[in-house]
Structure 1
Amino acid sequence: MDNLQQTITKGKSPAGRSLLVFFGLVFILAIPFWVIGGLIGRQLLPGLPIDALMAVCPVLAALILSYYESGSVGAKILLKRAIDYKRIRSNLWYVPILLLMPFVMVLSFGVMRLAGTPVPIPQISIVQTLILCILFFVGALGEELGWSGYAIDPLQRQLGGLQASIVLGAIWAIYHFVALVHAHRSISWIAWWSLGTVALRVIMVWLYNKTGKSVFAMVLFHMTINVTWQQFPINGSYYDPRVTGVILVLVAMTVIVIWRPRTLT
């Protein structure tokens, strides 16, 4: 906790990155999207308010600060991490990257059916899935170049893998609160979703560290989160964050038990 307080108070990471400024800038850049979302009230996809376009804010904040800290070289280095797939030393890591979230959603579907929830059988179109993958890949780029490409490494140096992932996961969740309100989510729904979101970030930091700190890996995983949610019956309308959140917490706890909390490797 002392390390966390020092990080926030000083605002600087060991590498000179201003995390406090980064997070503040991300939220400031998101304000116009929140205002427009509240005024227009339209959705890009079912359950996805127009506020979702704020996915560009983390990468914009990271680019601004990278340029300020290291000039155009720093900004180029950050952007190149979008295609750092060569950091993934073993192709086996593509299994959890691409299939963990589909597995979690199938398990959620099964649990809900066993509990008596009348969840309809999902109708999945290959063409629609490919389109969603493209759209959500672009959105994930906007977020993960900021969260993973800029923020997580200095956070881990200060706090260690587990604590850094929890802190970043909490900020990530809070960042979406306004958009979730605009999507007419209840306080209970948001609370359970936030629990799952923090657990997701623990899983993501574990994958990040195990794949040679590949931002590309995080973009792919982030994409699967959103694609599987939209494919959940019907366009995600039956998605229950209570069920999925608990499953994700169990997965995150498994990671913590098997791998060292300090490094998540």
Structure 2
Amino acid sequence: MNRLPVFLAVSFGLAWVVALPVWLAGGLGTPPTQVSAVLMMFTPALGVLAVWLLPGRSGGPGGSGGTRRPPFRVFARETGLTLGERPGRTLLLVLLAWLGVPLLVAVSIALSAALGLVSLDLTRFSLFQEALRAQGAQVPAGLSTMVTVQVVLAVLAGPLLNAVPALGEEWGWRGWLVPRLVAARGPVAGLILSGVVWGLWHAPLTLLGYNYARLGPWAALYFVGFCVAAGVVFGWLRLRSGSVWPAVVAHGSVNAVTGVVVLLGDAAAPPDPVVAGLTGLVGWAVLAVTGVALLRFFPVRRPGPAASPLTEPSHADP
């Protein structure tokens, strides 16, 4: 049985179900938005569980044939929930993701500023002041200290605080999907295709302008560019380690640190996320260069054919 359609149907279908309250309430900024956005992140994990619950072999990279579903501990290993064959390397890649993502964010912000695409206010932090006032909060006297603390917490604690919802996505996209697409299409094509799928999955929110408000519905297509560039890096972490945890940390860090530009921006010329920062064109370029360098100098192995949804052996299912 080709299990890819099942995984995609559950992941995409439930994402729309979870996001429906946002549409019914009137769009982004309404009370259901934050809850729906978090719940959506768990739908790929439910897609993986649906695949495992199907009769017959669930199609893991190291799985054997047969008509019986593998024990969950085997399926967990095959989908990256363990530390892989080399735990030491995996932990090193976790550390690399933890510190590397903030570095990529810093580079993208600095490059955006150098190109004149974003104005930084590193003395008054006027954009942050404006955000505090919009929330009805008072601007503290020691604003620079507050900004420093926020940045440090985002870098150090963000990946940990975001780990559970990030795992909800990463177990599906990088844990289950990436090895199968890479086995079928090769590393480059497989990683790019997985990024496209990941980006389109965000459509229930990005069609409403999520991440790129001024683009409106076109944000759904635009965000695919970021997902492809980031997905190559996340996918490399998964394939290089044999584990999903480095990608989980990278994803959690992205969610925590990309908003730093709001702390540093100038209220007179707010940053445009379409072009500036990690989620804009500048960030795409930074991520693309990083992904190309990783694949060039630290190549990943192509999983065996048993990992592919296109080539699963016919004897795997009754």
TM-score (norm 1): 0.78
Which amino acid is 2:187 matched to?
G
Aligned to 1:157: 183
Q: Is the 8 A contact 1:161 1:263 kept in 2?
A: yes
Helix, strand or coil: the match of 1:89?
A: helix
Counterparts in 2 of 1:83-94, with a 5 A limit?
A: 84-85=82-83, 87-90=86-89, 91-94=91-94
2:52 corresponds to: 66
The answer for the alignment partner of 1:118 in structure 2 is 119
Unaligned runs of 5+ in 1: 1-10, 13-17
Tell me if the contact between 1:55 and 1:140 (Cα under 8 Å) persists in the aligned partners. Answer: yes
Which AA in structure 2 matches 1:118?
S
Which residue is equivalent to 1:4? Answer: none
Matches within 5 A, 1:184-263: 184=213, 186=215, 191-211=221-241, 213-234=242-263, 238=271, 239=273, 240=276, 241-260=280-299, 263=302
Residues 137 and 220, structure 1, Cα contact 8 Å, conserved in 2: yes
Per-residue deviation, residues 60-84 of structure 1 (Å, max 9, x unmatched):
1111220224588544545576752
Aligned partner of 1:105 in structure 2 is: 105
Aligned to 2:6: 21
Partner AA of 2:284 in structure 1: G
1:51 equivalenced with 2:50 (yes/no): no
Deviation digits for residues 87-126 of structure 1, max 9, x if unmatched?
4333432343212211111011111221232133472424
Q: Deviations over 1:221-255 (max 9, x none)?
A: 11111111133324997343111111111212223
**1:5 alignment counterpart:** none
Structure 2: gaps of 5 or more residues: 58-67, 126-146, 304-318
Report the residue type matching 2:13 in the other structure. I
Q: Which protein is bigger by CA-based radius of gyration?
A: 2
Change (3 A) 1:94 1:261: closer
Matched, 1:139 2:165: yes
Where 2:88 maps in the other structure, the secondary structure is coil
> Does the 8 Å contact 1:63/1:78 carry over to 2?
no
Q: How does 1:160-171 map to 2 (within 5 A)?
A: 160-171=186-197
Cα distance, 1:171 vs. partner?
0.2
TM-score calculated relative to the size of structure 2: 0.66
Q: Which secondary structure state, in structure 2, belongs to the residue aligned with residue 163 of structure 1?
A: helix
Decide whether aligned partners of structure 1 residues 235 and 120 sit closer, same or farther in structure 2, where only a CA change above 3 A counts.
Answer: closer
Distance in 2 of aligned mates of 1:227 and 1:160: 31
Q: Distance in 1 between matches of 2:28 and 2:222?
A: 24
Q: 1:142 to 1:113 in 2, by over 3 A?
A: same
Q: Matches of 1:130 and 1:97 in 2, distance apart?
A: 11
Figure out how many residues of one structure are paired with residues of the other and give that number.
Answer: 247
Taking the aligned partners of 1:131 and 1:139, their CA distance within structure 2 comes to 14
Equivalent position amino acid for 1:169 in 2: G
- Offset, 1:53: 2.0
Aligned partners of 2:115, 2:34: CA distance in 1, in Å?
A: 27
Which one has a larger percent helix, Structure 1 or Structure 2?
1
The amino acid that maps onto 1:228 is V
Between 215-224 and 178-187, the greater mean CA deviation after superposition: 178-187
Contact 2:80–2:244 (8 Å) recurs in 1: yes
Rounded Cα–Cα distance in structure 1 between residues aligned with 2:35 and 2:14: 17
Contact 1:85 1:214 in 2 (8 A): yes
Q: Quick one: distance in 1 between partners of 2:289 and 2:80?
A: 29
Report deviation, 1:146. Answer: 1.2
**Distance (Å, rounded) in 2 between the aligned partners of 1:67 and 1:199:** 32
| Residue aligned with 1:232, SS | helix
